[in-house]
Amino acid sequence: MSVQIGNLLKVSFLRLAILLIETIGLMLHDTEIVPNRLVILRLNRGKIMTDVVTILTCLPEIPQRWRPPRLKAQSLIQTDADGWQSSGDAEVSKLVQELTNASTAVLYELILITQQATWGGEEGQFLNLGWLMQFLNSRKAVTFNFLERLLTQAMKLLLPSKDATLSPAQAVLLFQQFSVLRTLLQHSSIISVHIRSSYYEEFRYYVQSPHIVNKLPAAFPITRNTFQLIEEVLKHVLQSKVSIN
Ligand SMILES: *[C@@H]1O[C@H](CO)[C@@H](O)[C@H](O)[C@H]1NC(C)=O
């Protein structure tokens, strides 16, 4: 198979994956009043739920070299596109980021569902937040990879350069990213230890920074909540009390 056809396939595959994830997101979000969505998620003792979480956190089969670079201060300054353009694959890079955006939004919805739902009944303990955390913990490598992609996207939104203020859509994504992070940090010690040991500096230099107050206009309804989320996440990661505004 020629490189070009290989790339075309990869691009189509990623586009399809993004579309599917966005569809799952719409179904979860827009059917809030339909109790059936819970029944469906529980089918086959949660097999569907397991599949959905797997789809959200995995990257489709993309060769190693297409994966985003490690998140270190250096790679934040150099954009992904810089690295991937040279290999002619800025488009794949952009689609992976888009996929990560979409997955983050759906994972946020799923966390809300597991938190809100009283799964009760004899099947008891299962498909609640504890179950979700256990599942994510049991697939550590995949979960850590997903977190790396999520954090790369979050740090990009918080970079001091770029546009001074976020657009409403970016503000919503930032809220979802930090909401997912907070839940994982609070409920999984494996993830918490990993984030603290791998991304301490990133949080210290890019998140705990005076400029981020200017990123979110006071007029956005979610601004206050987002700052509160960011403070809570910082408290977990830096292990000290932090006030950002
Ligand atoms: C990810 O989402 C944010 C907010 O909507 C957007 O600004 C950014 O361009 C998205 N990234 C990609 C690659 O689509």
What is the DSSP track for the chain? --HHHHHHHHHHHHHHHHHHHHHHHHHHHHTTT-THHHHHHHHHHHHHHHHHHHHHHSPPS--GGGSPPP-SHHHHHS-HHHHHHTTT-HHHHHHHHHHHHHHHHHHHHHHHHHHH----STTTTTTSHHHHHHHHHHTHHHHHHHHHHHHHHHHHHH-SSS-SS--HHHHHHHHHHHHHHHHHHHH-HHHHHHHHHHHHHHIIIIISSGGGGGGS-TTSTTHHHHHHHHHHHHHHHHSS-----
Q: What distance in Å separates the CA atoms of residue 30 and residue 14, rounded to the nearest whole number?
A: 24
How far apart are the CA of 50 and the centre of ligand 1, in A?
A: 26
Token representation of residue 188: 């999984």
**How many whole angstroms from 104 Cα to the centroid of ligand 1?**
11
The mean pLDDT value of the chain amounts to: 81
Q: What is the whole-number distance in angstroms between the Cα of residue 51 and the centre of ligand 1?
A: 25
Q: Which ligand 1 atom lies nearest to the CA of residue 100?
A: 1
User: What is the tens place of the pLDDT at every residue in 9-25?
Assistant: 778 888 999 999 998 88
Below-50 pLDDT ranges, the chain: 64, 77-87, 122, 124
- Is the separation of the CB atoms in 154 and 71 below 8 Å? no
Ligand 1 neighbour 170 (Cβ under 6 A): yes
The token pair that represents 99 in the structure block: 């996929």
From the CA of 101, give the closest atom in ligand 1. 1
State the pTM of this model.
0.83
For ligand 1, whether the C-beta of 98 sits within 6 Å is yes
Write out pLDDT tens, residues 44-69.
Answer: 777 888 888 998 998 876 554 555 55
Q: Measured in angstroms, how far is the CA atom of residue 173 from the centroid of ligand 1? A: 8
For residue 103, count other CB atoms closer than 10 A to its CB. 26
- Report the candidate in 176, 177, 185, 18 with the shortest Cα–Cα distance to residue 91: 18
173 lines ligand 1 (CB under 6 A): yes
